[in-house]
Amino acid sequence: MSRLETAFYDLGHLDLLAEKNTPIHRLDPRVKVVVTLLFILYVVSFDRYEVARLLPFFLFPAVLIGMADLPFGYLWRKLLLVSPFVLFIGIFNPFLDREILLQVGPLGISGGWISLLSILLRFILSVGAGLLLIATTGFPAICMSLEKLGAPKVFTVQLLMLYRYLFVLIEETIRMIRAYTLRSFAKKRIRYPVFRHLLGNLLLRTLDRAQRIHMAMLSRALTGEIRIARQFKFGPAELFSLAGCIVLLTFMRFADIAEFLGKLILETVT
Domain co-membership, 35 together with 169: no
**Which pLDDT value is given to residue 39?**
94
pLDDT digits (tens, 9 = 90+) for 39-91: 999 999 988 888 888 888 999 999 999 988 888 888 888 888 777 777 777 77
**Which pLDDT value is given to residue 41?**
94
Query: Per the domain annotation, does 198 fall within a domain?
Result: yes
**Which of 34-38, 107-111, 177-181: highest mean pLDDT?**
34-38
Element (H, E) at 138: none
Domain holding 167, by residue range, is 152-229
Domain co-membership, 81 together with 124: yes
Mean pLDDT, residues 115-119 taken together? 85
**Which pLDDT value is given to residue 219?**
81
Nearest to 102 by CA among 94, 115, 111: 111
Domain co-membership, 90 together with 215: no
Beta strands in the chain (DSSP E): 100-104, 107-110
pLDDT digits (tens, 9 = 90+) for 133-182: 988 988 888 888 888 888 888 888 888 878 877 777 777 777 877 777 77
Domain co-membership, 162 together with 242: no
Looking at the predicted structure, is the pLDDT value of residue 3 above 80? no
Mean pLDDT, residues 107-114 taken together? 77
pLDDT digits (tens, 9 = 90+) for 179-226: 777 777 656 667 767 777 777 887 887 788 778 877 887 787 666 666
Query: Per the domain annotation, does 13 fall within a domain?
Result: no
Domain co-membership, 64 together with 164: no
Domain co-membership, 159 together with 135: no
Residues, the chain, total?
270
Burial of 129 (0-12, 13-18, 19+ CB in 10 A): buried
Query: Per the domain annotation, does 12 fall within a domain?
Result: no
Domain co-membership, 132 together with 166: no
Domain co-membership, 98 together with 207: no
Please give the tally of structural domains in the chain. 2
**Nearest-angstrom CA–CA distance, 69 and 21:** 10
Q: How far is CA 2 from CA 54, 77, 106, in A?
A: 39, 18, 50
Domain co-membership, 126 together with 249: yes
Domain co-membership, 110 together with 26: yes
